[in-house]
Amino acid sequence: MTNKKNGTLYTGITNDVVRRVFEYKKKLVRGFCSRYNLTLLVYYEIFGDAYSAIAREKQIKGWLRSKKIALIEGENPEWKDLSEGWYDDIP
């Protein structure tokens, strides 16, 4: 999650990315994302089990910012909000 291209970055895990991103966008969860207005999903990965997801989260959190940016730009060079359109039917 981020707030703009090359802005503040947040890495986390969830068992329901659609729900969690909605919570961040609507600021329903207090914490880092709401404090820094992180509402853009610019990168995500899907894992079959929680252990692999946690290991990957820890790996990414240990990286330098430049490596995190390279990961994002390798998949999403324009930093588009990957959740765009997910909530169009929700008032």
What pLDDT score does 6 carry?
84
Q: How many CA atoms lie within 13 A of 31 on its CB side?
A: 12
Whether residue 91 is predicted with pLDDT greater than 70 in this model: the reply is no
Task: Taking the CA atoms of 15, 27, 72 and 85 in sequence, report the sign of the dihedral they define.
Answer: positive
What residues are paired with 2 via a beta bridge? Answer: 9, 40
pTM of the predicted protein model: 0.91
CA distances, 54 to each of 9, 57, 61, 78 (Å)? 17, 5, 10, 27
What pLDDT score does 89 carry?
80
CB atoms within 10 A of CB 70: 11
Summarize the confidence of residues 24-31 as an average pLDDT.
92
For the chain, what are the domain ranges?
1-91
